[in-house]
Chains A and B, each alone.
Chain A
């Protein structure tokens, strides 16, 4: 009996180490209506490109611009967004793309960090993410990033809020079904920063995650909170191989 229990425990631990991913993996675009799909694909009308244009201007603006170190973004930033969140050896912690931009601003440029969800921060993040368009998500979850990944993996399965739901209950068990009138996606983070029609503006993945916390009536973590970052890393691992499409358009 005890051996059986131990065996069961082992099986659980193995499952928790490499949790299953939805098959086949489908990007959020798959669950959009035809109008939003068309809007995202339209390189003129996609409103997210307004932020990309602003980010492009910011890239070479100021006394010590991003371009001074990184040169041409089309070359130096190609594929960068697909590798974030990642462990940054210089900072000694895991950061997402926006966090890396903040670190450059405060550390290298000697400027104050942007406020979360400020237009400038979103613009730069969107501009950098745009350089990885079509490239597959490929984050590293080994080594120093492992504890953050495991925290995200566990949070993903932890019930929260008055509705007492975990991410997995919608995005693993019920994707493709509907929540009221809306199809439930697999929750892959390929489009962010994305233009969300509900917000009428561009927003970060953290803002989207906070909206899910709100949706299940849980307390929303602050921007930059470790829980959000851990979830970001877990989601990026979970969506591995899917093509980046930022700036996406979402409901």
Chain B
């Protein structure tokens, strides 16, 4: 099950630069690991993370097998208007996840 969370400040002034924090639950299988019975576990990592706010993309990351399990991101963006800040991710198996948080801009 895709599970993740995003945190942004509840309130901000228009044009203020605010921090967003994202935590995604994912095993980030490198493809090098083997099960106890010797079977190779196929590579499956979150390959793309995008974050949108007020109709525009504010952050995008392309990940590989060097990123730890349960990746955590912190980044900054300019708060332009009230609304949802939505982060989406997709892994190599095609599983998608989404999480969002609301920010009030005054």
Contacts and interface: CB of A to CB of B under 8 A. Distances in A.
Interface of A: 44-45, 47, 50-51, 53-54, 200-201
Given A53-B3, A53-B5, A201 B69 contact: yes
B68 interface: yes
B7 A50 contact: no
Given A45-B23, A47-B25, A200 B7 contact: no
Main secondary structure, interface of B, reads strand
Nearest to B74: A45
Contacts of A51: 25
Interface of B: 1, 3-5, 7, 21, 23, 25, 27-28, 68-70, 72
A13 to B, nearest CB: 43
A47 B23 contact: yes
Contacts of A44: 5, 7, 21, 23
Contacts of A54: 1, 3, 25
A20 B51 CA distance: 54
Contacts, number: 31
Contacts of A53: 3, 5
A114 to B, nearest CB: 15
A47 B70 CA distance: 7
A200 B3 contact: no
A242 B3 CA distance: 32
Nearest to B68: A200
Nearest to A39: B72
Given A44-B21, A200-B69, A201-B69, A50 B27 contact: no
A47 B7 CA distance: 14
Nearest to A51: B25
A44 B3 CA distance: 14
Given A50-B5, A200-B27, A200-B70, 16 more contacts: A44-B5, A44-B23, A45-B72, A47-B25, A47-B70, A50-B3, A50-B4, A50-B23, A50-B25, A50-B70, A51-B25, A54-B1, A54-B3, A200-B28, A201-B69, A201-B70
A51 B3 CA distance: 9
A45 B22 CA distance: 8
Nearest to A47: B70
A115 B69 CA distance: 21
B99 to A, nearest CB: 11
5 contacts: A45-B21, A47-B72, A50-B70, A53-B3, A53-B5
Contacts of A50: 3-5, 23, 25, 70
Contacts of B3: 50, 53-54
Nearest to A43: B7
A50 B28 CA distance: 15
Nearest to B21: A44
Contacts of B1: 54
A191 to B, nearest CB: 17
Contacts of B5: 44, 50, 53
Nearest to A201: B69
**Considering the complex of A and B, which 10 residue pairs feature the smallest CB-CB distances, nearest first?**
A200-B69, A50-B25, A47-B70, A44-B7, A50-B3, A45-B72, A44-B21, A54-B3, A45-B23, A200-B68
Q: Which of A45, A51, A200, A201 has the most CB of B within 10 A?
A: A45
Nearest to A195: B70
A45 B19 CA distance: 14
